[in-house]
Amino acid sequence: MPMPPLDAPITPPPSRGRSPARLLVVQTLAVQPLAAVLEESGYELLRAADAIAAIDGLHAGPALVVMDMELPELPGDGPIELLRRLAVGPAPVLTLSRLRDAHRLDALRAAGAADGLVKPVRMSDLLQRIERLLKPTQAADPVAPRRPVASMAVRERDGHCAWQTPQSRALMAAYFPPPWADHARLPPEVMAWVHREALRRRAGAPPASLTIRPPSGGPPQPLSFTLMEADATVIGEGHWLLVLDGPG
């Protein structure tokens, strides 16, 4: 598809003080679990699945662009060309590339990328890179760093974990014995709560969390679960975003 023109000047976003940083995520919508995690980490997101939406997104004043270089609608050097167009704006661009394309990181930087990560991406690494790139544009007052969000996408029907962050994987392993992790399924007590909470939400009840006591000899604090609605095109039909809160 042809690259859209930049028909309006790109100006830096207005000062936001301590309001959430706005990120433009350029990634195929069918594979955007990281976008949901970034939202739960406190960022305001603009989502773009193609070149036209990405260029339009620049005019909304993002503080940072996160660009997945795998864009099926832009074959060949199309993603590199889009990167060049996005890099002319005031927001730095963080790229995500496949392992077999790691040798292209120098080429991506030459095209304007401020930084790059190789997939599969650890969410803790992604959040650290984002904070580092945002630092020059944030308020001078010191702000406590965000703790990486522990979350997972779970299928309501059977508790299957479609994906999970490293933080959630570590918490589940600490609070629940095998074999739940071997089968990527929620433990029975969590699964029963997901079913009850999903029914409550559909009935219009306010959100309620689940708190699990730590096992004997385990972590000192309880583990809490909160069920979050998310775009089905991001995490899949019949799935919920499950956010975990345990020891920091």
- In this structure, the answer to whether residues 110 and 196 fall within a common structural domain is no
Is residue 7, in this structure, part of any structural domain at all? no
- In this structure, the answer to whether residues 55 and 131 fall within a common structural domain is yes
Is residue 58, in this structure, part of any structural domain at all? yes
- CATH number of 214's domain: 3.30.450
Q: What is the pLDDT of residue 107?
A: 80
Is residue 200, in this structure, part of any structural domain at all? yes
Burial status of residue 157 (CB atoms within 10 A of its CB: 0-12, 13-18, 19 or more): exposed
- In this structure, the answer to whether residues 120 and 154 fall within a common structural domain is no
Is residue 221, in this structure, part of any structural domain at all? yes
Is residue 15, in this structure, part of any structural domain at all? no
Starting from the edge strand earliest in sequence, which strands make up the sheet with 161-164, in order? 161-164, 150-155, 239-245, 223-228, 210-212
- In this structure, the answer to whether residues 167 and 103 fall within a common structural domain is no
Residue ending a domain, choose from 114, 137, 160:
137
Residue ending a domain, choose from 102, 137, 172:
137
- In this structure, the answer to whether residues 45 and 100 fall within a common structural domain is yes
- In this structure, the answer to whether residues 76 and 30 fall within a common structural domain is yes
Core vs surface per residue 71-107: b (16+ CB within 10 A) or e: beebeeebbbebbbbbbebebbbbbbbeeebeebbee
Mean pLDDT on 121-134: 85
Mean pLDDT on 92-107: 76
Is residue 9, in this structure, part of any structural domain at all? no
Is residue 65, in this structure, part of any structural domain at all? yes
CA 110, distance to chain mean position in Å, is 26
Distance (Å, whole) CA 227 – CA 229: 7
- In this structure, the answer to whether residues 86 and 122 fall within a common structural domain is yes
- How many residues does this entry show for the chain? 248
Is residue 218, in this structure, part of any structural domain at all? yes
Instruction: Identify whether the C-beta of residue 17 lies closer than 8 Å to the C-beta of residue 24.
Output: no
Residue ending a domain, choose from 137, 159, 190:
137
- CATH number of 36's domain: 3.40.50.2300
Q: What is the pLDDT of residues 27-65, one digit of tens each?
A: 887 656 677 778 878 899 998 988 999 999 998 999 999
Question: Whole-prediction pTM value?
Answer: 0.53
Q: Please tell me the least confidently modeled range out of 153-162, 166-175, 177-186, 211-220.
A: 177-186
Mean pLDDT estimate for the chain: 80
- In this structure, the answer to whether residues 45 and 118 fall within a common structural domain is yes
Q: What is the pLDDT of residue 14?
A: 45
- In this structure, the answer to whether residues 131 and 156 fall within a common structural domain is no
- In this structure, the answer to whether residues 155 and 182 fall within a common structural domain is yes
Q: Is the pLDDT of residue 142 over 50?
A: no
- In this structure, the answer to whether residues 104 and 167 fall within a common structural domain is no
Identify the domain containing residue 223 by its residue range. Answer: 150-245
Mean pLDDT on 168-186: 80
CA distances (Å), origin 244, targets 69, 73, 79, 220: 30, 35, 35, 15
Q: Is the pLDDT of residue 13 over 50?
A: no
Residue 61 has a CB neighbour count (10 Å cut-off) of: 18
- In this structure, the answer to whether residues 121 and 171 fall within a common structural domain is no
Give the per-residue SS3 of the chain: CCCCCCCCCCCCCCCCCCCCCEEEEECCHHHCHHHHHHHHCCCEEEEECCHHHHHHHHCCCCCEEEEECCCCCCCCCHHHHHHHHHHCCCCCEEEEECHHHHHHHHHHHHCCCCEEEECCCCHHHHHHHHHHHHHHHCCCCCCCCCCCCEEEEEECCCCEEEEECHHHHHHHHHHCCCCCHHHCECCHHHHHHHHHHHHHHHCCCCCCCEEECCCCCCCCCCEEEEEECCCHHHHCCCEEEEEEECCC
Residue 148 — pLDDT band, cuts 50, 70, 90?
low
Number of domains in the chain: 2
